[in-house]
Amino acid sequence: ADEGSSRRRVLLKLSGEAFAGGGGLGVDPDVVHAIAREIATVVRGGTEVAVVIGGGNFFRGAELQLRGMDRARSDYMGMLGTVMNSLALQDFLNKEGVETRVQTAITMGQVAEPYLPLRAVRHLEKGRVVIFGAGMGMPYFSTDTTAVQRALEIHAEVLLMGKNGVDGVYDSDPRTNPDAVKFDSLEYSEVIARDLKVADLTAITLCKDNNLPIRVFELLKEGNIARAVGSEKIGTLISS
Ligand code: UDP
């Protein structure tokens, strides 16, 4: 019998910024450990979890471009940053007793497996966490778009988008506008029409075209990963 067939499978997108903790740059091991503990709990509960982590705590290509760097080269720097985040999370997941594989879109055999979707699915079916590093391996894309593409290719039922310091999607930026109103649910078309800052347009469009629901939630609030995985109505649900 295929033990994997009846289990839930989710794609968790983690904010790179959150990995830095208060520091802004690099990785705060305490934060990564806390996230690993929560992921371990949901994996033990029988959910298959794949992960994509951003790289904003190291480099964003667009920001380096503004400071004079070639966009493609700085995007590769950004992608390499996501691999560091992936290795940090892998380590703490291992410490929590959860087998974990990192697969990267840019091959680097000493540190990770290459991205092999069928093998990723086998890992998930065996209860392993799979972390997809190095984005899509292509400049001009984002880790949000990567998260959507990976979720679609491994047939995850939902994209759970853990954000740093914001608990859902608002009609304006809640950090600068105290009257900002939070949405409990939204349609893809509204996100696009109102230009709401959830993910880049490429990512949202890919979700819309393929009907992949996204739940946006606050990553670092204790217990939130389990709540999001458990389909609790936290944050904002985006669907058709
Ligand atoms: N990146 C890229 N192609 C990809 C994924 C990421 O070029 O497929 C680069 C891009 O420069 C991006 C950086 O990696 O700015 C970090 O990813 P992202 O900005 O999505 O991280 P987040 O903001 O989610 O932490």
- CA 159 – ligand 1 centroid, Å: 17
CA distance 84 to 26: 9
**Closest residue by CA, ligand 1 atom 6:** 142
Q: What is the CA radius of gyration of the chain?
A: 17
Task: Look at residue 101 and tell me if it is in a domain.
Answer: yes
CATH classification at residue 178: 3.40.1160.10
| Number of residues that this document lists for the chain | 240
Mutate to test the pocket of ligand 1, among 35, 59, 60, 69 (most ligand atoms within 8 A of CB): 60
Task: Look at residue 2 and tell me if it is in a domain.
Answer: no
Q: In DSSP terms, which residues pair with 214 in a beta bridge?
A: 159, 238
CB 144 within 8 A of CB 200: yes
Q: In DSSP terms, which residues pair with 57 in a beta bridge?
A: none
Task: Look at residue 64 and tell me if it is in a domain.
Answer: yes
Which positions ≥6 away from 71 have C-beta within 8 Å? 61, 62, 65, 139, 140
Q: Is 235 near ligand 1, meaning CB less than 6 Å away? A: no
CA distance 224 to 12: 12
> Could you identify the atom of ligand 1 that is nearest to the CA of residue 136?
8
Q: Is 146 near ligand 1, meaning CB less than 6 Å away? A: yes
pLDDT in tens, 76-100: 999 999 999 999 999 999 999 999 9
- Number of structural domains (the chain) is 1
pLDDT in tens, 4-46: 457 999 999 999 999 999 887 899 999 999 999 999 999 999 9
Per-residue DSSP letter, 164: S
Helix (H, G, I), strand (E, B) or coil at 129: strand
Kindly indicate whether the ipTM for this predicted assembly is greater than 0.90, answering yes or no. yes
| pLDDT for position 207 | 98
Q: What is the pTM assigned to this prediction?
A: 0.96
Cα-based distances in Å from 113 to 21, 110, 116, 209: 28, 8, 8, 30
Task: Look at residue 3 and tell me if it is in a domain.
Answer: no
| pLDDT for position 5 | 57
CB 154 within 8 A of CB 132: no
pLDDT in tens, 101-123: 999 999 999 999 999 999 999 99
Q: In DSSP terms, which residues pair with 136 in a beta bridge?
A: none
> Could you identify the atom of ligand 1 that is nearest to the CA of residue 64?
11
CA distance 214 to 217: 10
Task: Look at residue 1 and tell me if it is in a domain.
Answer: no
Q: Is 139 near ligand 1, meaning CB less than 6 Å away? A: yes
Domain housing 32: 9-239
Of 140, 92, 86, the closest CA to residue 113 belongs to 86
CB 164 within 8 A of CB 13: no
pLDDT in tens, 179-198: 999 999 999 999 999 999 89
Mutate to test the pocket of ligand 1, among 15, 84, 142, 146 (most ligand atoms within 8 A of CB): 142
Per-residue DSSP letter, 170: E
